[in-house]
Amino acid sequence: MILLENVSKSYGSIEAVRDLSLQIPPGEVFGFLGPNGAGKTTTVRLMTTLTRPTAGRIFIAGFDLSREARQAKMTFGVVPQHPNLEKGLTVEQNLDLQGRLYGLSRGERKRRVEEVLEYVELAEERRRYVRHLSGGMERRLLIARGILHRPRLLFLDEPTVGLDPQTRRRIWDLILRMRDEGVTVFLTTHYIEEAEMLCQRVGIIHRGRLIALGAPQALKEEKGLFTLEYRCNGQTGWRFFADRASALREIAAYPGEVRLRETNLEDVFISLTGTTMQD
């Protein structure tokens, strides 16, 4: 569904994406992890034709974006990081406008608006103006707009940033439902639990480079499933172990505060980059 071949993007002397190669099959929920400024949003902009690569080739659903961008756009939907809905229109009017832009007939627009409103649980809000919606409702409306034309691929750029835990879980349920229906999802996030909950595979990007790729569990196993976290001279350190027994044998060697826990993706990220996911 997605194929990137040695893709780079530079802004003057700044190389935002560096020699990125990636292949994502149909039906996968793929997580793109990294701190702010790592290159996640730039990568999405490249794949959604909002900017052109400095080098390399991008294929979406078999279409070469350098020659077949129009055809490729019909196969995907986009949920941007920052809401860009028409605040002066109602929920229903925003969706109808999206349907018109994709060339849906009047009858098809009506049917699809009904379906997606039910899908994201906003049917009762159809006549509310967007400026009166909560942040969580706006996010769900963005998803409804993104899937209105039945795309085979959906790009979700930080879809739950700033949301309360309950609303975030509702968004997760929508993503899992789309996965079950065979939609390919490309998800950028810096929330560890989000990636572990939703994604079959994740890629970690740092300073524009893809530095790790694989299933969350496999990446943790490669590093060590148990983390010994300790404080020494005012600094926090970590050691990774394949099993709990090995870690327990080492605890006595560390003075001060020591904690043994299961390894998570943030531990993998820190060990590879020296920075936290939130940096």
Q: Flag whether pLDDT at 234 surpasses 50.
A: yes
With CA atoms as reference, report the closest residue to 133 among 147, 145, 115: 145
The whole model's pTM is what?
A: 0.88
Confidence of residue 110 (pLDDT cuts 50, 70, 90): very high
pLDDT confidence of residue 164: 86
DSSP 8-state assignment for residue 26: T
- Over the stretch 139-157, which tens digit does the pLDDT of each residue have? 999 999 999 999 999 999 9
Please give the average per-residue pLDDT across 246-255, as a whole number.
85
Rounded to 10°, the helix 91-101/106-119 angle is: 130
Q: Which domains does the chain show, CATH number per domain?
A: 2-215 (3.40.50.300), 219-273 (no CATH)
